[in-house]
Amino acid sequence: MKRKLVVIGAGMASGRMLEHLFEADPDAYDVTLFNLEPRGNYNRLMLSPVLSGEKTYEDIVTHDDDWYAAHGVTCHFGEAVVGIDREARRIRTNKRETEYDALVIATGSAPFIIPVAGKELPGVVTYRDLEDTNAMIQAGIAGKDAVVIGGGLLGLEAAAGMAARGASVTVIHLMDHLMERQLDPAAGYLLKRDLESRGIRVHCGGATKAILGNDRAEAVLLEDGTVYPADLVCMAVGIRPETRIAVDARIEVERGIVVDDALRTSDPHIFALGECVEHRNQLFGLVAPLYDQAKVLVKSLLGEAAEFRPVQTATKLKVTGCDLFSAGDFAEAEGREDIVFRDPGRGIYKRLVLEGDRIIGIVMYGDTADGNWFYSLMKDGTDIGDMRETLIFGPAFQGGGKLDPMEAVAALPPEAEICGCNGICKGRIVEAVQGGATTLDAVRAQTKASGSCGTCTGLVEQVMKATLGDAFAAPIPAGMCSCTDHSHEDVRRLIKSMGLKSIPAVMQELGWKTIGGCHSCRPALNFYLLADWPTEYRDDRQSRFVNERNHANIQKDGTYSVVPRMWGGVTTPAELRAIADAAEKYDVPMVKVTGGQRLDLLGIRKEDLPHIWADLNKAGLVSGHAYSKGLRTVKTCVGKEFCRFGTQDSTGLGVRLEKLLWGSWTPHKVKLGVSGCPRNCAEATCKDIGVICVDSGYQISVAGAAGMELKETEPLASTPSEDEAIEIITAFIQLYRENAKYLDRAYKWVAKVGLDWVKERVVQDPDERRALVERFEISQSIYRRDPWAEHSASDQSGKWAPMADFTLEAAE
Amino acid sequence: MTEFVDIGALADIPVQGARLVRTAQGCIAVFRTADDRVFALDDRCPHKGGPLSEGIVHGSSVTCPLHNWVFDMNTGQATGADNGQVGTYATRVEKGRILIDASRIARSHAA
Ligand code: SRM
Ligand SMILES: Cc1cc2nc3c(=O)[nH]c(=O)nc-3n(C[C@H](O)[C@H](O)[C@H](O)COP(=O)(O)OP(=O)(O)OC[C@H]3O[C@@H](n4cnc5c(N)ncnc54)[C@H](O)[C@@H]3O)c2cc1C
Ligand code: SF4
Ligand code: FES
């Protein structure tokens, strides 16, 4: 007699299982199938092509009514199972009860809904089934605004599908790069770029605060205040196993329904498979392992021994034109090594993670043709020791035996292209070398090879070496750091000319040799990007040195010093009182007058910082940026208001300058001095910028130094007008911000570009000067803010304290 | 035997940043990398005691904020030309919570 098998859920996993069951033994079971969706099994993966219009629903049905009839399956579609009576071996729906000898739970998973206001408004959908898909198709056809929350696999397929239908789509992603579980930042950057090029707006690092709308969704509000209009909102932030009936039936459930290797739950008559299960602490979200489960479960149902062993799976994105491949573990760890290949010109990034001589992780973008080859090497644990040097070039290069890169270059025909940007072939370079160009610079000057993006520099050098033999001495790379051969100057130039607007973008397009940079290049890149794209780039706090990250100077014992601003060195009794109160309240070990005309509170504990800032803020005191590569102090003397020799209001000018310039970030620190007469009591002539007031107006001089070097300033301009003096100074600072190498003080930068070059721009060309001032103002609209006020906001202040304290516990 | 104790949520640590755990034996710096791995090291640089928790995190390394020694967080070993090592603690992340090996801080914890 046939036994009774009840299956809950007609999805991908149970569908495959039924196919195997009827193949293996069509007479073993009478099958009754329940499905919450009002239809049988279809290929859920293919909802994305349905959404984008490349397929129809009919195309993706896997089991139609005829199939179920032919195999004698009793179907109840649109009918959810609501309870399991394990004693009586019966399941219950709202319409009927059905007995089983064996029960299979295959309920899949449920989309995760983030708990924000407005989440239940009409117009908010998830992406799981045909109903969701149809809702999104409508939005696209009607050309509406759609917002997708979640930049993972599902969210991006939803976004691309709706965009293909004509919707105007924005993707909001919480993390800093897309698909962070499958991709590293470099590949995430390329993906973002490709999506943007097809009109999809991508907002990374965005936390959703609420969905706005009265009767239906109208817009999405982010924590940072950004609002995106949205006629339709698709939440695709993740899934969780659908375990409710199992929980109610008191079957063992952790994150998913717990199954053993035979896919049996804690009840011997009940099995489970698919996304609803947890096997050896692992959950599943892709179909490949579920298909393996289907095979194993059939054996278990037929009383044969079988064990489920998950294999690693690879991820691809089903968005036409976005070619990515990811598999295995790509975290950096001890004993692991990376092989990185970047081809900025063609937008290609490939990275293999090796442990010993085996591949354990793969991330590819742009060209994934070799993905499956790498993947099989990884799955099989193949020893790749012999092909390590050329492995990244794929199977086409593995001709047997090791390939010497030099031989490979030597073997290239003369017409082989070396420099893609300038279209320079090998023959042209060889010609230049034979004609006497024996240095890289000479080859560059004559042929332009490697003169643009520079990524072929290594190749050009190899051609030179192949031509010159031992006579060729490779130049010592003048790179910013060991992560790149590009100099600071090159990087600055390329950031502007190529429109690079994020750290991963710079690292990819300029062929960084490391994955995420180092402590030397990251702060520099962070500055270059915020200086060049003030409104678009967001400051990366974790790429800053400790002082700038914590807005205070770290001391040798790990405490901090706090220096509030005293505009132009002027203070008031109320400010002094607030400083005195704070010094007492926080037990400040030392209060010192600095060399910059203000007061320093030294020896403050990190967790007290937000509190002392809040107290100082209350008295109107803001950060003095005594820690920043930015505007520090404007020293002044008393000037004509009080001094018998004073010619102009030097104190007033100093205060005006400081109020205009404060908060700005610069390549190195910037200090100013304004003296009221040539007696120069403010020591203006050894500052980055100095002003000496005279009867006829203002003498501006720049590029002084009084630190590790001592140097008098050089005259830049004289003007009778205070306003013009301010304009010239502002333009000078902006020119410095836009051009100098990170950590070059103004005097070093001026020495490199020449004072005449500077004068041409900020003194002789009034249009250029105004443009510089305008760009400075745009930047200041973002940065002329007190960082202390931001960080001492009450919801932030907890972050400065330890996250756990075991000393307290011990004392209790 | 290793005993793991909960010290807080992964989300409490900024990506590529660190937070402190205070113990009777001194502070432990708990780091989170760009790819959400967690490392725990003594918060004292073997050079001159710099607080490693305030260093720049890159890959699975951290650079001491005081004089730029670079440490591999897997081993606690200084890299490059510098010689030195800091203590490391085993960590685990489970359901968004960070657990840390308590055997070396057990004295205070068990009280
Ligand atoms: C507090 C102060 C000394 C004081 O007690 O007076 C000071 C303290 C420090 N200076 Fe200074 N400088 C201070 C005025 C100066 C001056 C004089 C001035 O500003 O008029 C100079 C010479 C002018 C100049 O800037 O060149 C000065 C030249 C330096 C230098 C050398 C810079 C150079 O390019 O040669 C450094 C090192 C650096 O920046 O790389 C430095 C670095 C430092 C640091 C930040 C060292 C560090 O990285 O930790 C010190 C922080 C101590 C602390 O824990 O707070 N400090 N420092 C002064 C703060 C002024 C302010 O109110 O902001
Ligand atoms: C748009 C989209 C694209 C995807 N793309 C890919 C891809 O490219 N590659 C890949 O590997 N994976 C992809 N996936 C994931 C893949 O579809 C799932 O891993 C797979 O469908 C899971 O199969 P399952 O049988 O466990 O669950 P499902 O296929 O979800 O089936 C579960 C069924 O159970 C029903 N059900 C739930 N509760 C009850 C109840 N109480 N009573 C009765 N019925 C119930 C549900 O209605 C559902 O029909 C994609 C998923 C989506 C949504
Ligand atoms: S001169 Fe400046 S850097 Fe040197 S010890 Fe004094 S404060 Fe510190
Ligand atoms: S204290 Fe860490 S490098 Fe000096």
Top residue of B32, B54, B60 to mutate, by most chain A CBs within 10 Å, is: B54
Q: How many CB atoms lie within 10 A of CB A741?
A: 18
Is the pLDDT at A811 greater than 50? The verdict is no
Number of inter-chain CB pairs under 8 A, A vs B: 116
Alpha-carbon torsion B55, B59, B60, B61, what sign?
A: negative
If you average pLDDT over residues A90-103, what whole number do you get? 96
d(CA B76, CA B72): 5
Please give the structure tokens belonging to residue A536.
């678009």
Q: Which residues line ligand 1 (CB under 6 A)?
A: A 553, 555, 561, 563, 592, 594-596, 598, 600, 626, 632-633, 671, 705-708, 745
Q: How many CB atoms lie within 10 A of CB A97?
A: 11
DSSP H or E run through A584:
helix A573-585
What pLDDT, on the 0 to 100 scale, is given for residue B110? 41
What pLDDT, on the 0 to 100 scale, is given for residue A474? 65
Chain B residue with Cα closest to A175: B15
d(CA A753, CA A732): 13
Tell me how far the alpha carbon of residue A468 lies from the centroid of ligand 4, in angstroms. 45
Ligand nearest to the CA of A563: 1
What pLDDT, on the 0 to 100 scale, is given for residue A808? 67
Of A139 and A586, the structure prediction assigns the larger pLDDT to: A586
Where residue A396 falls among pLDDT bands split at 50, 70, 90?
low
List the single range of A56-65, A400-409, A744-753 with lowest mean pLDDT.
Answer: A400-409
Of A782 and A335, the structure prediction assigns the larger pLDDT to: A782
Is the pLDDT at A477 greater than 60? The verdict is no
Is the pLDDT at A812 greater than 50? The verdict is no
Report helix, strand or coil for A178.
coil
Residue with tokens 């009450």: A794
Residue pair A700/A728 in contact by the 8 Å Cβ criterion:
yes
CB-CB: which of A330, A542, A554 is closest to B15?
A542
Is the pLDDT at A458 greater than 80? The verdict is no
Please state at what angle helix A287-301 crosses helix A12-24, rounded to 10 degrees. Answer: 40
Any bridge partners for residue A75, and if so which?
Answer: A33
Ligand nearest to the CA of A626: 1
Q: Whose CA is nearest to atom 32 of ligand 1?
A: A707
Q: How many CB atoms lie within 10 A of CB B2?
A: 8
Where residue A32 falls among pLDDT bands split at 50, 70, 90?
very high
Cβ contact, residue pair A516, B59, below 8 Å:
yes
The best mutation among B44, B48, B70, B82 to test binding of ligand 4, ranked by most ligand atoms within 8 Å of the C-beta, falls on: B48
Q: Whose CA is nearest to atom 4 of ligand 4?
A: B67
Report helix, strand or coil for B5.
strand
CB-CB: which of B14, B54, B60 is closest to A554?
B54
Q: What residues in B contact A609, CB-CB < 8 Å?
A: none
Residue pair A604/A616 in contact by the 8 Å Cβ criterion:
no
pLDDT above 70 as % of chain A: 96
The best mutation among A594, A680, A683 to test binding of ligand 1, ranked by most ligand atoms within 8 Å of the C-beta, falls on: A594
Where residue A471 falls among pLDDT bands split at 50, 70, 90?
confident
Top residue of B7, B10, B22, B36 to mutate, by most chain A CBs within 10 Å, is: B22
Please give the structure tokens belonging to residue A317.
């994105």
* DSSP assignment letter at A556: T
| A704-720 per-position pLDDT tens digit | 999 888 999 999 999 99
| B90-111 per-position pLDDT tens digit | 999 998 899 999 887 755 444 3
Amino acid letter for position A467: T
Cβ contact, residue pair B8, A543, below 8 Å:
no
pLDDT beneath 70, residues of chain B: 1, 106-111
Kindly state whether B105 is in contact with chain A, defined as any CB-CB distance less than 8 angstroms: yes
What pLDDT, on the 0 to 100 scale, is given for residue A363? 92
For chain A, give me the number of helices (H) and strands (E)? Answer: 28, 39
Side-chain half-sphere exposure of B71, counting CA atoms within 13 A: 33
Tell me how far the alpha carbon of residue A552 lies from the centroid of ligand 3, in angstroms. 15
Across chain A, what does the average pLDDT equal? 90
pTM for the whole structure: 0.67
> What DSSP letter does each residue of A666-731 carry, written as one string?
-SS-EEEEEESSTT-TT-GGGSSEEEEEETTEEEEEE--EESSSEE--EEEEEES-HHHHHHHHHH
Q: How many CB atoms lie within 10 A of CB A559?
A: 19
What pLDDT, on the 0 to 100 scale, is given for residue A178? 94
Q: Whose CA is nearest to atom 3 of ligand 4?
A: B67
Q: What residues in A contact B34, CB-CB < 8 Å?
A: 184-185, 516
| A143-176 per-position pLDDT tens digit | 899 999 999 999 999 999 999 888 999 999 999 8
Cβ contact, residue pair B49, A558, below 8 Å:
yes
Q: Which residues of chain B from 36 to 95 reach within 8 Å of chain A, CB to CB? A: 37, 48-51, 54-61, 63, 65-66, 68, 70, 72, 74-75, 95
Rg (CA), chain A: 34
Report helix, strand or coil for A204.
strand
CB-CB: which of A176, A185, A810 is closest to B108?
A810
The best mutation among A7, A12, A62 to test binding of ligand 2, ranked by most ligand atoms within 8 Å of the C-beta, falls on: A12
Is the pLDDT at A546 greater than 70? The verdict is yes
If you average pLDDT over residues A486-509, what whole number do you get? 91
Side-chain half-sphere exposure of A320, counting CA atoms within 13 A: 10
Is the pLDDT at A399 greater than 60? The verdict is no
- What is the SS3 string spanning A304-361? CCCCCCCCCCEEECCCCCCCEEEEECCCCCCCEEEEEEEEHHHCEEEEEEEECCEEEE
Question: Which of A532, A521, A514, A545 has the alpha carbon at shortest distance from A185?
Answer: A514
What pLDDT, on the 0 to 100 scale, is given for residue A216? 93
Tell me how far the alpha carbon of residue A347 lies from the centroid of ligand 1, in angstroms. 44
| A602-661 per-position pLDDT tens digit | 999 999 999 999 999 999 999 999 999 999 999 999 999 899 999 999 999 999 999 999
